[in-house]
């Protein structure tokens, strides 16, 4: 079974600074997808960024980028020019891409990292 680990329960950053959230995962599969989700106090889960394992290029979405290290099974999220609205719980998630596997269709989440942004 796949596991996702976020080793930082809490992180903080000053407004306009850069912060990196860590995520590691364990899998024996070669075809999979990785995601970062943001959960603000409203409780709504919002997709931040998505990465396909077969793509070597790191995904970017505006101020958000990832450092995907497939061999190391690491998937960190970098937030540049942090804003007060970035304060939230952030979840890393894994999804199998193996259509013939028992994990197909399942999304596995890490425990989450609470990000605080100081003005």
Rounded CA-CA distance 102/28 in Å is: 13
CB 30 within 8 A of CB 20: no
Of 18 and 111, CB closest to another protein: 111
The verdict on 108 binding another protein (CB under 8 A) reads yes
Q: How far is CA 111 from CA 92, 101, 108, 118, in A?
A: 8, 24, 10, 23
Q: Which of 85, 90, 113, 116 has its CA nearest to residue 13?
A: 116
The verdict on 86 binding another protein (CB under 8 A) reads no
Of 15 and 26, CB closest to another protein: 26
Of 47, 61, 69, 83, the residue at the interface with another protein (CB under 8 A) is 47
Of 20, 22, 33, 98, the residue at the interface with another protein (CB under 8 A) is 33
Select the span of 13-21, 43-51, 61-69, 73-81 touching another protein (CB under 8 A).
43-51
The verdict on 45 binding another protein (CB under 8 A) reads yes
């Amino acid at each position: 079974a796949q596991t996702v680990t976020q080793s930082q329960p809490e992180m903080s950053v000053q407004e306009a600074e850069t912060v990196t959230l860590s995520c590691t995962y364990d899998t024996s599969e070669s075809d999979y997808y990785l995601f970062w989700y943001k959960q603000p106090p409203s409780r709504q889960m919002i997709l931040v960024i998505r990465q396909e394992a077969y793509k070597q290029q790191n995904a970017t979405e505006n101020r958000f980028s990832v450092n995907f290290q497939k061999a190391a099974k690491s998937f960190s999220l970098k937030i540049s020019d942090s804003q007060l609205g970035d304060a939230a719980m952030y979840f890393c998630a894994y999804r199998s891409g193996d259509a013939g596997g028992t994990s197909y269709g399942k999304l596995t989440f890490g425990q989450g990292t609470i990000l605080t942004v100081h003005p």
